[in-house]
Amino acid sequence: MGVSAAPSAPSVPASAGAIRPRRLIDGMTRLFHGALALGFAGAFITSEMESIRQVHVILGYTVLGALVLRLAWGLIGPRTARLSVWGQKLRLASPLWASLRQGKLPLAQAQTVLQGLATLSLLVLAVLVIASGYATLESLTGEWVEDVHEAMGNAMLAVVLLHLVLVGVASVARRQNQALTMLTGRIHPWKSDSGR
């Protein structure tokens, strides 16, 4: 009995009025995702505001807490929230590479692999940002670690932006609002234009 990776387009009933969103993402996963997103956004915005440095620090610890809880939930949560799902996305890289060598570009597969890589990169960068931020706060090393903290924060922002672009591409390719799926936990298929 295998676990499926990210779903492709769901089956949509012919009548537009009969479209029913189905549950895909549990509430705890959405809560941790929201805490990570808001914590990072707030920390990035306050990073240069020395007058409210404590807010920046609290937001950094918020990201740390959400990250730890999300990883724990990936071990004990429902099947769709498991860390193994990320591994499944990354395992598609080999078949994707084979398709690219044959001159084919399977967009859904490419988006899934890139999203898996972006997620893994965000986790690694979050750990590096938090560790370098703590070292800066506690003056554990020289000033160079503050530069590392800033560079890692900028790299994390770049990957977050890539993540958002991939969500947009997936929304168009799969005709589903992927951002709304993370907010509500349900797949929201777009209504078919053929019914108009």
On whether residue 5 sits in a domain, the answer given is: no
On whether residue 9 sits in a domain, the answer given is: no
The pLDDT of residue 46 is above 80: yes
pTM of the model: 0.73
pLDDT digits (tens, 9 = 90+) for 91-142: 777 777 777 777 776 677 777 788 888 888 998 999 999 999 999 888 887 7
- The backbone torsions φ and ψ at residue 104, rounded to the nearest 5 degrees and listed phi first, read -105, 145
On whether residue 182 sits in a domain, the answer given is: yes
Whole-number pLDDT of residue 12: 43
On whether residue 118 sits in a domain, the answer given is: yes
On whether residue 117 sits in a domain, the answer given is: yes
On whether residue 168 sits in a domain, the answer given is: yes
On whether residue 186 sits in a domain, the answer given is: yes
The pLDDT of residue 195 is above 50: no
Number of domains into which the chain is organized: 1
Domain extent at residue 178 = 24-191
In this structure, which long-range contacts are made by residues 153-156, counting pairs with CB atoms below 8 Å and at least 24 apart in sequence? 153/43, 153/44, 153/47, 153/129, 155/125, 156/40, 156/122, 156/125, 156/126, 156/129
On whether residue 19 sits in a domain, the answer given is: no
CATH number at residue 132: 1.20.950
